[in-house]
Chain A
Amino acid sequence: MKIHEYQARNLFRKYGIPVPDAVVCHTVEEVEALVPDDGKLRVIKAQVHAGGRGKAGGVKLARTKAEAVENARKILGMDIKGYTVEKVLVGNAVDIDKEFYVGLINDRNNKAVTLMVSAEGGVEIEEVAKVSPEKILKVTIDPMMGLMDWQAREIAMRFFPDIRHARTAADIFRKLYALYLDTDSSLAEINPLVITQQGDVMAIDGKMNFDDNALFRQPELLEMREVTPDEQKEIDAHAKGLSYIKLDGTIGCMVNGAGLAMATMDMIKLYGGEPANFLDIGGSSNPQKVIDAMNILLSDKNVKAVMINIFGGITRCDDVAKGLITALDQIKTDIPIVVRLSGTNAKEGLEILKSTGLPTVKTMSEAASKAIELSKI
């Protein structure tokens, strides 16, 4: 789960990480009412769940009230990587002396949280990681001890020659780690962390993602959740025991198991088609799940053919076939459907499906080519 920058800043403030004051506005009128004509430099930032806002024109400076209003008008309603800007954050611009990057993430390899710090702040860290990875300092945090005082200080002193700045930065690292743990975060970034010309160390921009598996114990985070219509579809699917991700192709796929679902998408591509989605229905033959899954698939108007790929393990293919028949009875559609059943009791399953007249096949390759062929009719 993702949150907006202003929500991350609120969490930072709650944990004592210094952030400059700023206000969220939903309309141009709110910006007009907020900003006085005092000649101070202000920054107006789009609040969307996407990176690269600056590059997309979603972050603008304003010297006068008129300029602030004009820029808010430009940014509100703008589209950034498929997200419509509905909110802007308006605050005083900070006189920056130096910028740094600070981030915490879960490290798969070390099976621990890793702290990353870089003097290349204010730019996309993925770029830095690609071009000059040596410029990012990475420290694995001992899960038993947490980020220790001396450790945070030692790291901070490498980047902040002035011990006063280093102490504040070390304190910020530790507070960010506490926030990270408390909220079951999977990514917490301060980018940039700055030293101002006045000599203050503060967080100018923040980003936080959270572990979806832990949301059951994070009710406060759930209140911050905002989703796009496509994401809502994915969440609704999840509530029904389905895992769905919409793509742009024309072949709808329904598969049991995430890995097999991915392999199915790959196979469609390999045979010259484009998958319309990722859809894992899990390991059950429950007809209701198949009905729900079909409804989701068919609500995508790009879908020209459906490929159902089931490998029967514990779930027997004859049960799946019965589920499919019940489901297909309830769903009337002209979209061609190809069914592939393999594994436990596949023969019996295919026999049951014969009565439906649906094209049935035994292998994934056959299913993919057949579905692609039918999508072009």
Chain B
Amino acid sequence: MSILINKNTKVVVQGITGRDGAFHAQKMKAYGTNVVAGVSPGKAGQNLEGIPIFNSVGDAREATGANASVIFVPAPYAADAILEASYAGIELVVAITEGVPVKDMIRVMPVLRQRGTQLIGPNCPGLITPGECMIGILPGNIFKTGNVGLMSRSGTLTYEVVNLLTENEMGQTTCIGIGGDPVAGLYYQELLQLFENDPDTKGVVLIGEIGGDAEEQAARFIKERMTKPVVAFIAGQTAPPGKRMGHAGAIISSGTGTAEEKIKAFAEAGVPVAKEPSQIPGLLKRLLDK
């Protein structure tokens, strides 16, 4: 078992004729992902290494039964691509695109909620259920099938941690890069709930970073609702305040978005926080062996 995606997931690639779209569509296919279609307006009838191309997501879904989409279109058009997927009835949309204006994301959120579309990203590396399906730009070779669930706001830091897990014989059920943008789709709480419900996931790794208070909320959620062990890591303990996150996001939460507060929140929830990535496998192993 796994969460969100598995070997039956049928993927359509939006922006398949762009440089990144074409490259990663082939990488996904090579990994074993069931990439059933690509979309590029005006290029219907063509194909990319055997992946048929359609003019719209609607056409692609009708012809292939695609139920997940991955978006590689440029930032100014990314929100529209998300809406197109949602209106076409795609259930899971993974937006890789970086640099999408926040206003655009705020505008699409109510539509996704109304239509029941699940979104991962934007500005994320995607997600993977090792051995079954990889959607996005993740390096498939470092993942391994197993029973650890992982979620992270960062890309390469995720790889770093996954690599450590895999080296320590701790494979993964599903790993999700939730993206680094302030307004994004599925977040810690929704994913923690999915992992809690997944019988194969025995423990969870949560990789957070400074800014906002999603980690604090996740800590409360873990304390109140999770029976499975969680280990956390927070990046940005030395980041200068106010540099990338104004005070604004923090006013709302009555916090300041610092690593200290997040680490404190996890400590209060009984969630061990690794001081450096290399401690994560050991901390998790100890909890799983209990």
Q: Please determine whether A126 and B247 come into contact, CB atoms closer than 8 angstroms.
A: yes
Known A-B contacts A105-B252, A109-B253, A186-B248; A259 and B158 likewise in contact (beta carbons under 8 Å): yes
Are A343 and B163 in contact, CB atoms less than 8 angstroms apart?
yes
In the complex, A290→B182 CA distance in Å?
A: 29
B109 adjacent to A108 (CB under 8 Å): no
Are B238 and A265 closer than 8 Å at their CB atoms?
yes
Complex: chain A residue closest to B99, CB-CB: A213
User: Which residues from chain A contact B157 at a C-beta distance below 8 Å?
Assistant: 257, 259-260, 262-263
Contact A111 B109 (CB under 8 A): yes
Name the A residues within 8 Å of B160 (CB-CB).
260, 263, 311, 342-343, 364
Closest to A263 in B: B235
Whether the Cβ atoms of A259 and B154 lie closer than 8 Å is yes
In the complex, whether A377 has a CB less than 8 A from a CB of chain B is no
Query: Quick check: B154 and A257 within 8 Å, CB to CB?
Result: yes
Q: Is B249 an interface residue (CB 8 A)?
A: yes
Q: Is the CB of A213 within 8 A of B182?
A: no
B243 beta carbon closer than 8 Å to chain A: yes
Q: Does B251 contact A (CB under 8 A)?
A: yes
Q: Do A245 and B252 have beta carbons less than 8 Å apart?
A: no
Check if A150 is an interface residue, CB within 8 A of chain B.
no
List of B residues within 8 angstroms of A311 by Cβ: 156, 159-160, 163
Across the interface, A106 reaches (CB within 8 A) one of B99, B152, B154, B182, namely B182
Interface residues in A243-274 by Cβ distance below 8 A to B read 245, 247, 255-260, 262-263, 265-270
**Do B102 and A106 have beta carbons less than 8 Å apart?**
yes
Cβ-closest chain B residue relative to A136: B251
**Chain B: which residue is nearest A104 at the CB level?**
B248
Query: Assuming the A-B contacts A213-B99, A313-B138, A343-B163, are A109 and B213 also in contact, with contact meaning beta carbons closer than 8 angstroms in the complex?
Result: yes
**Interface-forming stretch among A60-68, A138-146, A322-330?**
A138-146
A16 contacts B by Cβ under 8 Å: no
The residue that B155 contacts in the complex, of A125, A257, A266, A275, with Cβ under 8 A, is A257
Rounded to whole Å, the gap between the CB of A185 and the closest CB of chain B is 9
- Residues A221-247 near B (CB distance < 8 A): 245, 247
Query: Which residues of chain B are within 8 angstroms of A105 by Cβ–Cβ distance?
Result: 248-249, 251-252
Known: A126-B250, A217-B76. A266 touches B213 (CB 8 A): no
What is the CA–CA distance of A112 and B235 in the complex, to the nearest angstrom? 26
Query: Cβ of A109 and Cβ of B214 under 8 Å apart?
Result: yes
* Complex Cα spacing A126 to B253, Å: 11
Which of B8-16, B52-60, B272-280 is the interface stretch? B272-280
Closest to B217 in A: A109
| B190-235 interface (Cβ within 8 A of A) | 207, 209-210, 212-214, 217, 233, 235
Q: A260-B160, A313-B142, A344-B139 are in contact. Are A213 and B75 (CB under 8 A)?
A: yes
A184 at interface (Cβ–Cβ under 8 A)? yes
CB pair A112–B106 under 8 Å, yes or no, is yes
Residue contact B156 to A365, C-beta cutoff 8 Å? no
B282 at the interface (CB under 8 A from A): no
Is the beta-carbon distance between A247 and B240 smaller than 8 angstroms? yes
Q: Is A108's CB under 8 angstroms from B110's CB?
A: no
Q: Out of B103, B210, B251, which one reaches A214, CB within 8 Å?
A: B103
List the A residue with the shortest CB-CB distance to B112: A111
Q: Which residues of B contact A19 (CB under 8 A)?
A: none
List residues of chain A with CB within 8 A of the CB of B110. 142-144
Interchain nearest-CB distance for B134 vs A (Å): 11
Once bound together, how far apart are the Cα atoms of A257 and B142, in whole Å? 17
Q: B103 touching A108 by the CB < 8 A rule?
A: no
A184 close to B141 (CB less than 8 A): no
Tell me whether B246 is interfacial, beta carbon within 8 Å: yes
Q: Does B270 lie at the interface of the complex (its beta carbon under 8 Å from any beta carbon of A)? A: no
Check A363 for interface membership: any CB of B closer than 8 A: yes
Interface string of A324-355 (1 = CB under 8 A from B): 00000000000000000011100000000000
A266 to B76, CA, bound (A): 34
Interfacial chain A residues near B106, Cβ < 8 Å: 106, 111-113, 143
> Which chain B positions have C-beta within 8 A of A270?
275-276
Query: Contact mask A282-308 → B, CB, 8 Å, 1/0?
Result: 010000000000000000000000000
Identify B180's interface contact among A125, A259, A364, CB under 8 A: A259
Say whether, besides A186-B248, A314-B137, A108 and B182 are in contact (CB < 8 Å): yes
Contacting pair A186 B156 (CB below 8 A): no
10 A-B residue pairs with Cβ-Cβ distance under 8 Å, sorted by A, are: A106-B183, A133-B254, A214-B101, A257-B157, A258-B180, A267-B276, A270-B276, A343-B159, A344-B141, A364-B276
Interface residues of A (CB under 8 A from B): 103, 105-109, 111-114, 116, 125-126, 129-130, 133, 136, 138, 142-144, 181, 184, 186-187, 209, 211, 213-214, 216-217, 245, 247, 255-260, 262-263, 265-270, 275, 278, 283, 311-314, 342-344, 363-365
Other 20 A-B pairs with CB < 8 A, given A144-B110, A187-B248: A105-B252, A106-B102, A106-B249, A108-B182, A136-B251, A186-B102, A187-B246, A209-B246, A214-B103, A217-B76, A245-B243, A255-B156, A258-B154, A258-B155, A259-B155, A268-B238, A343-B142, A343-B159, A343-B160, A364-B278
A-B interface, 3 closest residue pairs, ranked by CB to CB distance from nearest:
A259-B154, A257-B156, A259-B157
